[in-house]
């Protein structure tokens, strides 16, 4: 639920968000946290009951937040008359009267329009039986951070491993200070693409299953009972299995208790492999019981700063959802950008690689969301987005969903950031989950970006609907954001508000 302030009647009304149903796009009462390990800054729900937080970037847990000041929610500047001149549009953020309590105002995202049928399937929105893809601006407006490579834990952290790694040793890629540099070293390096790939290393938790080959269980160790604990041994298949990430404590305990060389090697392999997990719908904003990553997410966006040096070589960005895979090829020899189907090698889209993109740093973003792949360079689409359909049975989410590679020319890649799409949770019994909802004339369907905690059209009774006369306007800008700061002078203390101009932003 996103409860906002009292109604106003001006052309541009001001509203304040109180709850976190639209986080992280819009924040309610919250606390600003900085992870002590990776220094990543994030917001969490601001109730007094919240005492611990988990970093959404590196997974560091048990971060004390009870002494942090609670900040007000985002202040919205709302265009109150816009919908008198045009109809609300899909994916817009809208303010409206709560159909259950008309004296309250809610803010949500509009996903379905009058006369349509809407259903949530595997976290995506289907309208009239077809998946609805978001445009580039909408993707950027609601994307949720998964990893910011500029914020890394300390290198001596025993529970952490780098998430971006060169796939082969000495393949021409070097890394320093978060910048990956490629320099061709010999003739062989000009004939094949050398890759750096992302793996989603987690510290603990997860429900994924990892296996390591093991011929027998050591006789001196007590064999774990089936279904009890994360580790199990399948004697028929001769595999050691782990559900979730094997903890460092358990790994060390097994290593202390036996000298069996095969078992020790298997435990080491299992520990490393078990920490490479699928990306899930976890929200750093929520308390631990809410949205704990129960759903695996395939829809991702990669953002990076790319510096291409003019030459005959190429640079590639690759992305996969586990079923389909595509590569964005920057071909410097012919000055073309191509979108290639990795399975067939066929070029699906082609655009010019302009000279003004060479020998300078540009922002590149590639996404694979809602069965649509797109590429943007410095905020502009390189070509028309490509929609695709599944060509076979849907495979599991990939453990290495994005990567980049180069050959034949010098390249620099920095400021790597990975985002995910909203996964609309589909708990049984909610509207639009068990079957499609048919919207009548003048009826709309809205959802919150913070899907696990949002009270929206899914949770309203069948007779409760949002109609066009309930709209109050479209939020345009987050304005006057601030944070609380304790001020102490000679034993006297108070709280003051510090403006945060970096949080002033347009709302997509």
- Burial, 458: exposed, middle or buried (Cβ in 10 Å; 0-12, 13-18, 19+)? buried
Please, which residues have CB within 8 angstroms of residue 449's CB and are 6 or more apart in sequence? 21, 22, 23, 24, 25, 26, 109, 142, 144, 422
Main-chain dihedrals φ then ψ at residue 296, nearest 5 degrees: -80, 135
The dihedral region occupied by 433, where left means phi > 0, alpha psi between -120 and 50, and beta the remainder, is: alpha
- Which region among 175-184, 193-202, 487-496 has the lowest average model confidence (pLDDT)? 487-496
Please give the Cα distance from 370 to 358 (Å, whole number): 31
Please, which residues have CB within 8 angstroms of residue 169's CB and are 6 or more apart in sequence? none
129-143: per-residue pLDDT in tens? 999 999 999 999 999
Q: Which residues pair with 417 in a beta bridge?
A: 148, 303
> Is 2.10.109.10 the CATH classification of the domain at 3-29+71-136+427-506?
yes
SS3 content of the chain, % helix, strand, coil (to 5): 10, 40, 50
What's the pLDDT at 1? 46
Tokens of 95: 């303010």
164-198+298-420 CATH: 2.60.120.560
Please give the Cα distance from 398 to 366 (Å, whole number): 17
Q: Could you tell me if 413 and 419 are in contact, meaning their C-beta atoms sit under 8 angstroms apart?
A: no
What's the pLDDT at 194? 96
The closest of 256, 171, 177 to 221, measured between CA atoms, is 256
Please give the Cα distance from 142 to 24 (Å, whole number): 8
- Which region among 298-302, 332-336, 400-404, 492-496 has the lowest average model confidence (pLDDT)? 492-496
Please give the Cα distance from 213 to 195 (Å, whole number): 27
What's the pLDDT at 498? 65
What's the pLDDT at 310? 78
Tell me the average pLDDT across 165-174. Answer: 92
Tell me the average pLDDT across 402-430. Answer: 94
281-305: per-residue pLDDT in tens? 999 999 766 556 789 999 999 999 9
- Which region among 86-95, 188-197, 353-362, 438-447 has the lowest average model confidence (pLDDT)? 188-197
Please give the Cα distance from 268 to 203 (Å, whole number): 15
The closest of 271, 266, 254, 258 to 219, measured between CA atoms, is 258
Q: Do domains 3-29+71-136+427-506 and 164-198+298-420 have the same CATH topology?
A: no
Count of CB atoms within 10 A of residue 427's CB? 13
Tokens of 61: 């847990």
With a cut of 60, say whether residue 8 has pLDDT above it. Answer: no
229-251: per-residue pLDDT in tens? 889 999 999 999 999 999 999 99
- Residue 272: its H or E element: helix 261-274
**Which position has the higher pLDDT, 152 or 185?**
152
Please give the Cα distance from 125 to 112 (Å, whole number): 9
Interstrand relation of 372-377 and 93-97 (parallel, antiparallel or unpaired): unpaired
Tell me the average pLDDT across 461-483. Answer: 86
What's the pLDDT at 7? 41
Tokens of 323: 């079923």
Please give the Cα distance from 143 to 376 (Å, whole number): 15
Tell me if residue 251 falls in helix, strand or coil. helix
Please give the Cα distance from 373 to 127 (Å, whole number): 19
What's the pLDDT at 499? 63
**Segments making up each domain of the chain, as ranges:** 3-29+71-136+427-506, 164-198+298-420, 209-274
Please give the Cα distance from 60 to 64 (Å, whole number): 11
> If pLDDT is split at 50, 70 and 90, which confidence band does 190 have?
low
Mean pLDDT (the chain) is: 90
The closest of 165, 246, 157, 155 to 205, measured between CA atoms, is 246
With the CA atoms of 80, 85, 88 and 91 taken in that order, what torsion angle do they form, in degrees rounded to the nearest 10?
-80
What's the pLDDT at 191? 75
Tell me if residue 9 falls in helix, strand or coil. coil
With a cut of 70, say whether residue 270 has pLDDT above it. Answer: yes
Buried b (16+ CB within 10 A) or exposed e, 228-260: eebbbbeeeeebbbbbbbbbeebbeebeeeeeb
Q: Could you tell me if 277 and 208 are in contact, meaning their C-beta atoms sit under 8 angstroms apart?
A: yes
Please give the Cα distance from 83 to 11 (Å, whole number): 12
In the Cβ-directed half-sphere of 342, how many Cα atoms lie within 13 Å? Answer: 17
> If pLDDT is split at 50, 70 and 90, which confidence band does 275 have?
very high
State pTM to two decimals: 0.92
Question: What percentage of the chain reaches a pLDDT higher than 90?
Answer: 69
Query: Could you give the angle at which helices 261-274 and 248-257 cross, rounded to 10 degrees?
Result: 180
Q: Could you tell me if 396 and 314 are in contact, meaning their C-beta atoms sit under 8 angstroms apart?
A: no
> If pLDDT is split at 50, 70 and 90, which confidence band does 186 have?
low
């Amino acid at each position: 639920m996103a409860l906002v302030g009292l109604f106003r009647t001006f052309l541009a009304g001001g509203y304040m968000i109180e709850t976190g149903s639209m986080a992280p796009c819009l924040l309610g009462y919250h606390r600003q946290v900085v992870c002590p390990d990776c220094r990543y800054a994030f917001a969490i729900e601001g109730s007094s009951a919240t005492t611990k937080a988990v970093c959404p970037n590196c997974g560091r847990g048990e971060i004390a937040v009870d002494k942090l000041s609670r900040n007000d929610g985002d202040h919205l500047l709302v265009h109150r008359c816009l919908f008198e001149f045009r109809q609300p549009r899909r994916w817009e953020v809208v303010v409206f009267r709560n159909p259950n309590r008309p004296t309250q105002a809610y803010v949500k995202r509009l996903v379905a329009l009058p006369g349509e049928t809407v259903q949530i399937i595997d976290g995506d929105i289907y309208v009239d039986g077809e998946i609805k893809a978001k445009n580039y601006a909408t993707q950027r407006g609601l994307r949720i951070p998964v990893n910011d490579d500029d914020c890394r834990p300390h290198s001596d952290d025993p529970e952490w491993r780098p998430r971006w790694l060169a796939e082969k040793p000495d393949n021409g890629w070097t890394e320093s200070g978060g910048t990956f540099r490629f320099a061709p070293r010999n003739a062989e390096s000009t004939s094949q693409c050398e890759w750096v790939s992302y793996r989603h290393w987690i510290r603990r938790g997860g429900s994924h299953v990892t296996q390591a080959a093991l011929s027998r269980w050591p006789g001196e160790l007590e064999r774990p009972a089936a279904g009890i604990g994360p580790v199990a041994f399948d004697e028929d298949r001769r595999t050691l299995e782990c559900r979730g990430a094997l903890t460092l404590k358990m790994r060390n305990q097994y290593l202390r208790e036996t000298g069996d060389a095969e078992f020790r090697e298997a435990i080491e392999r299992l520990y490393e492999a078990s920490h490479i997990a699928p990306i899930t719908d976890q929200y750093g904003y929520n308390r631990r019981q809410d949205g704990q990553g129960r759903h695996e997410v395939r829809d991702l966006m990669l953002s990076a700063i790319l510096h291409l040096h003019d030459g005959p070589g190429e640079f590639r960005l690759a992305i996969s959802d586990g079923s389909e895979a595509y590569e964005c090829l920057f071909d410097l020899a012919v000055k073309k950008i191509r979108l290639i189907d990795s399975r067939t090698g066929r070029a699906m889209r082609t655009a010019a690689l302009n000279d003004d993109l060479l020998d300078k740093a540009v922002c590149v973003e590639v996404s694979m969301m809602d069965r649509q792949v797109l590429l943007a360079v410095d905020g502009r689409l390189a070509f028309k987005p490509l929609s695709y359909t599944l060509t076979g049975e849907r495979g599991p989410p990939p453990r290495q969903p994005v990567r980049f590679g180069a050959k034949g020319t010098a390249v620099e890649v920095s400021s790597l950031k990975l985002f995910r799409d909203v996964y609309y949770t589909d708990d049984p019994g909610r509207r639009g989950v068990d079957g499609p909802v048919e919207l009548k004339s003048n009826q709309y369907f809205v959802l919150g970006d913070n899907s696990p905690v949002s009270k929206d059209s899914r949770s309203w009774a069948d007779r409760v609907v949002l109609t066009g006369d309930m709209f109050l306007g479209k939020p345009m800008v987050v304005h006057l954001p601030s944070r609380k700061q304790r001020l102490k002078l000679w034993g006297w203390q108070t709280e003051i508000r510090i403006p945060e101009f970096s949080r002033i932003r347009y709302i997509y």
